[in-house]
Structure 1
């Protein structure tokens, strides 16, 4: 089979499109013939070698994908050959989703709704589970609360917006371009703000009727965390999903308002939480929540896709690779 193999850490040129051995099926596994794979920013950090936990070389990147079941382990129930599925796994058996096939355990495979394309399915996994983990397990979102989503036009943010609205929240969402702001309004945001404009948060007091924000889903804490503290309501909750450096904050604001600041990492999600979140995500998908696919490349163009991910740009959803 064809796939992407990384034999040394470095820039995007280390993503080599090669012939690979097919993965071996275990008794509790499924073999998926992948039709598309989703690209996550963390995969660019791992590829470059700038990440805390690095895989053994050589490796195939990717944890998200969608396709058709080709083989089923003898202990697996609830699936059948030919069924459309999406996968979200951190542990392929020697191979990730940047390949024509992947073998993964049954707990990492989910039914793909018929109305969704394989490209959309490939954009669900990590982004969807991150958004749900942030909103439910970490922020403990409640109906009627005001939620600020920083960087809502990306893969995680666009799903978090839809999920928060589904919970009955009022959502204030930020993006860095007019196209991004228009997309957020189309997804149901109550108010949108351009985070590239100076003092873009100055109207939050008016938008929240002087109360402040109950929940912040933060994609770039090293830039925004102090500003988040400034606009929080009493007993508000900030969930840090993304960060790219250091920041100095005034903890007095967290003390005065009794604000909770919580970090999260998808890899820390327990099997119990993953099971709960899978049910939440399935229910959301059946009620119209859909990932946004910004651009599609072929598997052989993985280098170009990675270069696009790391550019300083206003994201408009997820970048996906199609697989022949």
Structure 2
């Protein structure tokens, strides 16, 4: 029997979510009802709600959110995924497929897990599932000063990267990442394009893996820098496209593809199944519990979602809705 719960509801793509009542049906035989504690406001969520993502809900209204942390009826704390819009996760209670949950320790911080699992998944999956990182390899991160990029630096280290190069716009964060030992070299995007290309040619000519959160013009500059300086054209280069913060398209030289051993691939929902994602996410849980993967977070009460949605759109921290 359906009952009424509050949720972050969107009547049409492009609108700001509103705090409204929805009908929650009884869970089906392959679902469990979850009392939601927190749900992340990831770029993925904003992109879906804004109608800019390849996951496009076919019906409305839409409940925002793709994952979260909650409790089962027996009190067990879990992380869960729901990638089937219009059914989102920013709701007081949700019905989740039994296969889409990961148990969490009772002392797990629900806010941190709601913030970090999606961000960590972006780089963790890209490195493990797509690039198949090997110990001792060199990783270049385009967009390292964003919250996902900073987590990517930590993930690369944990997965065996010997040398990590960070490219980003925020010079103070670049300096902090260097000081903390999370990256070994930094390249600021505040320089002019020729300087950026020269710096990439110097620092990243022998890179094995590129994690690209930017795409657009920064990617074109990075490709030109690597192409001009790579000493061994047969050395394998895996370029993993994760985000498009600097633009949705690039111009890529045909000569670059023919003259170098480069593989360009995407990492996201599609190339990696939800089942594979969950298996890999389980490996992240102890790393978060041990403080080896962490991030800064700001929270929004569900009831304030409409007023806080745009206000937090450019936040440097991860944003989490609490119920």
Residue pairs, 1:1-324, within 5 angstroms: 1-12=5-16, 15-55=17-57, 56-70=59-73, 81-91=74-84, 95-114=87-106, 116-169=108-161, 170-185=163-178, 186=180, 188-198=182-192, 199-207=195-203, 211-232=205-226, 233=230, 234-243=235-244, 244-271=247-274, 273-282=276-285, 284-285=287-288, 288-308=291-311, 310-311=313-314, 316-323=316-323
Q: Tell me the distance in 1 between the aligned counterparts of 2:258 and 2:307.
A: 46
Work out whether residues 4 and 98 of structure 1, in 8 Å CA contact, stay in contact via their aligned partners in 2. yes
Q: Tell me the distance in 2 between the aligned counterparts of 1:279 and 1:47.
A: 27
Aligned length: 305
Please state how far the C-alpha of 1:50 moved relative to its aligned partner: 3.5
Structure 1 pair 98–276 and aligned structure 2 pair: CA distance change class (3 A): closer
Q: Tell me the distance in 2 between the aligned counterparts of 1:183 and 1:11.
A: 37
Q: Tell me the distance in 2 between the aligned counterparts of 1:171 and 1:115.
A: 32
SS at match of 2:113: helix
Q: Tell me the distance in 2 between the aligned counterparts of 1:305 and 1:252.
A: 47
Structure 1 pair 115–149 and aligned structure 2 pair: CA distance change class (3 A): farther
Work out whether residues 154 and 318 of structure 1, in 8 Å CA contact, stay in contact via their aligned partners in 2. no
SS at match of 1:202: helix
Q: Tell me the distance in 2 between the aligned counterparts of 1:309 and 1:196.
A: 24
Q: Deviations 1:50-84 (Å, cap 9, x if unpaired)?
A: 444421101101012112222xxxxxxxxxx1122
Q: Tell me the distance in 2 between the aligned counterparts of 1:236 and 1:288.
A: 31
Structure 1 pair 267–259 and aligned structure 2 pair: CA distance change class (3 A): closer
TM-score calculated relative to the size of structure 1 = 0.83
Please state how far the C-alpha of 1:39 moved relative to its aligned partner: 0.9
Structure 1 segments unaligned to the other structure (5+ residues): 71-80
Q: Tell me the distance in 2 between the aligned counterparts of 1:60 and 1:36.
A: 14
Q: Tell me the distance in 1 between the aligned counterparts of 2:98 and 2:147.
A: 25
Structure 1 pair 201–302 and aligned structure 2 pair: CA distance change class (3 A): farther
Structure 2 segments unaligned to the other structure (5+ residues): none
Q: Tell me the distance in 1 between the aligned counterparts of 2:273 and 2:209.
A: 23
Q: Tell me the distance in 1 between the aligned counterparts of 2:89 and 2:82.
A: 9
Work out whether residues 112 and 121 of structure 1, in 8 Å CA contact, stay in contact via their aligned partners in 2. no
Please state how far the C-alpha of 1:5 moved relative to its aligned partner: 1.1
Q: CA RMSD in A?
A: 2.5
Q: Tell me the distance in 2 between the aligned counterparts of 1:238 and 1:11.
A: 34
